[in-house]
Amino acid sequence: MKKILVLVIAAMIVLGLAGCSGNTSKVGIEAIKEKGKIVVGLDDNFPPMGFVDETGEIVGFDIDLAKAVGEKLGVEVEFKPVEWDGIILSLINKDIDLIWNGLTITEERKKKIGFSGAYMANKQIVVVNGDSKVNSLKDLSGKIVAAQLESSSSEAIDSKAGFKESLNDVKYYPTNTEAFMDLQIGRVDALVVDEILGRYYIEQSESDFKVLEEDLGKELYGIGMRMEDDTLKKEIDKYLKELKKEGKSKEISEKWFGEDIVLTEAE
């Protein structure tokens, strides 16, 4: 009886290992097709790229664009909210398949993950209250500046020569919405934020904000994926170009921004 039990357990282990080996050997588009869906990780508090509307649905420019690419891939698109400061780890650990949420392409991130071709341009702006006496980056000397944790905004603060050193402090927030709220009530003097989000928030807000003429650098948005998913990258880049050519990305852009601001750099 013991011998039979040992043989059964051994067979189960072999089968289990074989199953695991089969799953891990498939990457990129092959794995996505087999699964039948692609899981997109995002910060669901990043309007107009991806956010929860008044009905509780996740909507936004990136949401619509991801769905359009999903249709071409022939798979369901599932959107999974993830804390932004841990989203790259979630991608590497395969909790999600893509980061598609106004993700800035940076050299530091390229060391950890792969990117699609750039599909949108952005820059880091500085927002202050409308009645603020701050009118330049120099005026922020000795002030408190806010930014989202682990964001390209925080990287922009770090990379601007002498800027961070001139400040009294930098406060980091889980979401830009929280940072805007503290700016409004005067807990911070300024907020560094993606222009696309910042201007959208200001337009929707009843509060009085102003944007400094100086910025902290221009950047490009791309879709983040695992390094080994090169076949998935090729498919996504191909379909981004097709959507641009067909006018679908223009339609989505005009819906959210009132104009076509989608790039054609995806290769």
pLDDT tens by residue, 155-174: 999 999 999 999 999 999 99
Most confident of 11-15, 32-36, 129-133, 256-260: 129-133
- The pLDDT of residue 232: 95
Contact between residue 73 and residue 235 where contact means Cβ atoms under 8 Å apart: yes
pLDDT exceeds cutoff 90 at 2: no
- Beta-sheet strands, E only, within 130-217: 144-148, 169-173, 190-194, 209-211
- pLDDT for res 28: 81
Higher-scoring residue by pLDDT: 64, 24: 64
% of residues, the chain, pLDDT over 90: 84
**% residues pLDDT > 70 (the chain):** 89
Query: CA 32 to CA 38: how far, in whole Å?
Result: 6
Angle CA(71)–CA(74)–CA(75) in degrees, nearest 5? 90
Q: Please give the structure tokens belonging to residue 206.
A: 């009843």
- Which amino acid, residue 54? E
What average pLDDT does the segment 259-265 reach?
85
- Classified as helix, coil or strand, 239 is helix
Residue 150 gets which letter from DSSP? T
Structure tokens belonging to residue 2: 């013991």
Bridge partner residues of 262 (DSSP): 120
Q: Is omega for the bond preceding 47 within 30 degrees of 0, making it cis?
A: no
Residue 9 is predicted with a pLDDT of 47
Query: Tens digits of per-residue pLDDT, 42-55?
Result: 999 999 999 999 99
Q: How confident is the model at residue 265 (pLDDT cuts 50, 70, 90)?
A: low
Mean per-residue pLDDT, 80-87: 95
For residue 8, is pLDDT > 70?
no
Q: Is the Cα dihedral 183, 189, 193, 199 positive or negative?
A: positive
- Assign 27 a pLDDT band (cuts: 50, 70, 90): confident
Span 207-258, pLDDT tens digits: 899 999 999 999 999 999 999 999 999 999 999 999 999 999 999 999 999 8
Q: What is the pLDDT of residues 85-141, one digit of tens each?
A: 999 999 999 999 999 999 999 999 999 999 999 999 999 999 999 999 999 999 999
Is the pLDDT at 1 greater than 80? The verdict is no
pLDDT score of 22: 39
Is 80 exceeded by the pLDDT of residue 7? no
Q: How confident is the model at residue 20 (pLDDT cuts 50, 70, 90)?
A: very low
Alpha-carbon span 113 to 89, nearest angstrom: 10
The yes-or-no verdict on residue 59 having pLDDT over 50 is: yes
